[in-house]
Structure 1
Amino acid sequence: MSAIVTVTLNPAIDLTVALDHLTPGEVHRAHSAVSNAGGKGVNVAACLADWGVNVSATGFLGAGNVHPFETLFRDKSVGDGFIRLPGETRINVKITEPGGRTTDVNLPGLPIEADLLPRLNDRIRALEPSLLVLSGSLPAGLSPSIWADMASHWQQQGVRVLLDVSGAPLQEALSREELLFAVKPNRDELAAVMGAIPDDAALLAQARALHRNGIGLVVVSLGSEGALFVSEEGALYAAPLKVGVVSSVGAGDAMVAGLCAGISEDASLERLARLSTAFAAGKLRKIGPHLPPKQDVEALASAVSIAAAEDWIMYGRLSGEQSS
């Protein structure tokens, strides 16, 4: 039995290329190029495995280049629930520069037909999740309602669902009457589906409205400006930690992993805020879906500055104390 299962419908092999500076239209000489099995749910599962949580990952992979995924799952002891399909998983190019700026070039994924989804639900059922993470983009061939349909189905089965999607799939999910357990958009993703969010007070009001409508945990990530957390315990703001940035790719997925880790230990809202912020900061120090050692992440969590959301709005953002 696996307590946490992640679902990735549009995985990718992430090719991270390091440059001194990206100048469009010019020829560049890269310092390095590193390939990692990726996709949002894969990244979440990998970080959870580093934390020591029992986790499985499922979805669809192209059989033609499955080796990086099988190696990652074996090395991290992630349960491999992926369904293999003819063809190859897409490759995404991540161009990184000193200071953490990253330029993404994402290729289209394997087309997935809707008649494959019953097989996926059967695979999820066999993994027996208590917490199901649905995250990432949709491949060609699937309706934007797919994530909302899956969330509704599994919550009716008594499974808690954490949703991390954007655009039309997020809009569809937020329009449903069924209650989501947790959702983690960033500010821009939330504004794209809910309307303009002119300031932090409006952002807090929107997050609280989602919670009142039945979403148990609402987390709005603000990138380098921290994150907002709303649950029945109240509303908190977590300041960003000042860490050396190697790559920002997957930091949001690491935050989701931190939320899952906290949920698995029935953590308080403050602990969830500290842990998810620390996961994201730890991931910034790594290329690929990896965390620093557990004791380092706990040290980061202890250093996170937390404020009541109202104080954050009234007095301005806090700054993290940790640096490296």
Structure 2
Amino acid sequence: MNSFNIVTLTVNPAVDKSTHLKGLVPEQKIRCEVPRYDAGGGGINVSKAISRLGGVSLAVFTKGGPTGIMLENLLEKETIPTKAIEVQAWTRESFIAVDDNTNSQYRFGFPGAALLEGEVQIILDTIVGLNAKFLVLSGSLNEGLSAGFYQEIAQRVKNTNTKLIVDTSGEALKKVLETGVYLIKPNVGELAKLVGKSHLELNDINDAAKEIINKGGAEIVVVSLGPQGAVLVTKDVYEYVPAPNVLKKSTVGAGDSMVGGMTWALSQNKSLKEVIRWGVACGSAATMNEGTQLFKKEDAERLFDWLMTK
């Protein structure tokens, strides 16, 4: 297999199914439009975002059953290099529905079935053996998979040249910070929990992020503020970037698009000022499209150019 500067891991991927309806009424049959299918899951979406920017990454993911075959076929259409790890459990699905009468979006996510012990070991050995310059661990974990799964990967690559980028939450994020990574992307609520606070104001974010950095949890902390934008913090840098005002159609994949934009920019040796702006540009551009389509390159480029003036 060819070597790749960027590798993404999606241990709990999904086939995303999205549709439109007119009126959500209990106990009545709801007529939906023809569904759209997309390959989904954190790392897969990151690889899709990188591809849209003209970059190349290897998407490593588990696949099982007919939905796993469908997932792989969808990625082949995206012309993204992939490495599928066969598992016994069927790949999960997710469902997104938009009510055209109210423009309300409903998102239904299902858990991923448990993996066998031998399958977990294959995933660990595969991902560590690729020796990527940037390794992105993104998304939820399967039922029964230890919260220390990402941490184990971090421990295995700690003394290598691999820069670990982690986008997860809860106990899995807390555990991986004990080992230390290159970059994390919590939202402001997740950051508050990491530093033992009930909530954080904008002027508290720098100190909270520095607390994680000073403990060796991460070199770069990017805090997503939703419609307010994002903040990038290192031991020496503080960059706040406001989100551009765009017409939002869907928030699905916005966070993954942000991670993809930043990872691509880092791989291109962009400055941190550019890195955070590419992240916000891609995340904002993703909200301009319906369902699970992520973003269009021209939208991301236009928003990036605007953000560079801010």
Q: Is TM-score (shorter-chain normalized) higher than 0.5?
A: yes
Alignment partner of 2:50 out of 44, 48, 51: 48
Distance in 2 (CA, whole Å) between partners of 1:122 and 1:243 is 42
Letter of the aligned partner of 2:192 in structure 1? A
The answer as to whether partners of 2:89 and 2:115 remain within 8 angstroms in 1 is no
2:215 is aligned with 1:213: yes
Moved more, 295-304 or 28-37: 28-37
Distance in 2 (CA, whole Å) between partners of 1:59 and 1:71 is 13
Alignment-derived partner of residue 189 in structure 2: 188
Specify whether residues 56 and 26 from structure 1 end up closer, same or farther in structure 2 by C-alpha distance, changes over 3 A only: same
Q: Secondary structure at the match of 1:216?
A: strand
Deviation at 1:222, TM superposition (A): 1.1
2:175 is aligned with 1:172: yes
Specify whether residues 63 and 276 from structure 1 end up closer, same or farther in structure 2 by C-alpha distance, changes over 3 A only: same
Deviation at 1:23, TM superposition (A): 5.8
The answer as to whether partners of 1:59 and 1:82 remain within 8 angstroms in 2 is yes
Alignment partner of 1:291 out of 295, 304, 309: 295
Specify whether residues 209 and 125 from structure 1 end up closer, same or farther in structure 2 by C-alpha distance, changes over 3 A only: closer
Distance in 1 (CA, whole Å) between partners of 2:134 and 2:103 is 32
Distance in 2 (CA, whole Å) between partners of 1:216 and 1:148 is 16
Distance in 2 (CA, whole Å) between partners of 1:225 and 1:142 is 34
2:133 is aligned with 1:136: no
Alignment-derived partner of residue 71 in structure 1: 73
Q: Secondary structure at the match of 1:144?
A: coil
CA-atom RMSD, angstroms? Answer: 2.2
Alignment-derived partner of residue 34 in structure 1: 36
The answer as to whether partners of 1:64 and 1:87 remain within 8 angstroms in 2 is no
2:227 is aligned with 1:224: yes
Specify whether residues 63 and 120 from structure 1 end up closer, same or farther in structure 2 by C-alpha distance, changes over 3 A only: same
The answer as to whether partners of 1:62 and 1:110 remain within 8 angstroms in 2 is no
Specify whether residues 157 and 60 from structure 1 end up closer, same or farther in structure 2 by C-alpha distance, changes over 3 A only: same
Specify whether residues 264 and 289 from structure 1 end up closer, same or farther in structure 2 by C-alpha distance, changes over 3 A only: farther
Alignment-derived partner of residue 83 in structure 1: 85
Q: Secondary structure at the match of 2:35?
A: strand
2:10 is aligned with 1:3: no
How many residue pairs get matched?
Answer: 304
Specify whether residues 128 and 72 from structure 1 end up closer, same or farther in structure 2 by C-alpha distance, changes over 3 A only: farther
The answer as to whether partners of 1:238 and 1:305 remain within 8 angstroms in 2 is no
Alignment-derived partner of residue 315 in structure 1: none
Alignment-derived partner of residue 201 in structure 2: 199
Alignment-derived partner of residue 303 in structure 2: 300
Letter of the aligned partner of 1:68 in structure 2? M
Distance in 1 (CA, whole Å) between partners of 2:91 and 2:238 is 40
Alignment-derived partner of residue 321 in structure 1: none
Where do 5+ consecutive residues of structure 1 fail to align?
A: 308-324
Letter of the aligned partner of 2:51 in structure 1? A
Specify whether residues 125 and 271 from structure 1 end up closer, same or farther in structure 2 by C-alpha distance, changes over 3 A only: same
Specify whether residues 25 and 260 from structure 1 end up closer, same or farther in structure 2 by C-alpha distance, changes over 3 A only: farther
Tell me the alpha carbon deviations over residues 201-236 of structure 1, each in whole angstroms, 9 at most, x when there is no partner: 222211122222232110010111211111244111
Q: Secondary structure at the match of 1:173?
A: helix
Deviation at 1:37, TM superposition (A): 1.3
Letter of the aligned partner of 1:180 in structure 2? V
Where do 5+ consecutive residues of structure 2 fail to align?
A: none
Letter of the aligned partner of 1:13 in structure 2? V
Distance in 1 (CA, whole Å) between partners of 2:270 and 2:235 is 13
Deviation at 1:197, TM superposition (A): 2.4
The answer as to whether partners of 2:128 and 2:153 remain within 8 angstroms in 1 is no
Q: Secondary structure at the match of 2:37?
A: strand
Distance in 2 (CA, whole Å) between partners of 1:252 and 1:228 is 14
Alignment of 1:116-131 (within 5 A): 116-131=119-134
* Aligned-residue identity in percent: 27
Deviation at 1:301, TM superposition (A): 0.3
Distance in 2 (CA, whole Å) between partners of 1:24 and 1:147 is 40
Deviation at 1:245, TM superposition (A): 2.1
Moved more, 192-201 or 235-244: 192-201
